[in-house]
Homo-oligomer: A and B are copies of this chain.
């Protein structure tokens, strides 16, 4: 069984990094709990949104993300049962490509380079399960799509949902 796992917001805590960068730049105290149901750029004044968009092209942004709680242990165990691939829509941010590769080397060294996919559209993936936080990635997947909960997708319906890595473990292991 082939299992694809998205990186940002699923393996890597991109949302909290956006908040940390924003708070540092503007001396604010935005907290994750204030962002529920929204994209991070929807939580800041309109004239500061561009600053949020710019984070992803900053050197080091993707390299220094924290792994999501439990992701390393659970993905390690999933590798015993599934043919696990990382599938990240990283091609949008060329500066991120090497950083994402290095980040995986550090936090998920057991995921061989052959198991890493950087792509755009995810409907080109052939496999059995896809864990992703974006419904537009899950919609066209032929297989079992799992929506990984993120502040921005709380109001999303229509997909089997996993709230965190603990729930992924309960569902798949």
Measured CB to CB, the residues of A under 8 A from B are 2, 4, 85, 89, 91-92, 94-95, 97-98, 101-102, 112-121, 123-127, 142
Contact = CB atoms under 8 A, between A and B. Distances in A.
A97 B113 CA distance: 12
A79 to B, nearest CB: 14
24 contacts: A4-B124, A85-B124, A91-B113, A91-B118, A92-B113, A94-B97, A94-B98, A94-B102, A97-B101, A97-B118, A98-B98, A114-B120, A114-B121, A116-B119, A117-B117, A117-B120, A118-B118, A118-B119, A123-B126, A124-B125, A124-B126, A124-B127, A125-B125, A125-B126
B91 A114 contact: yes
Contacts of A102: 94
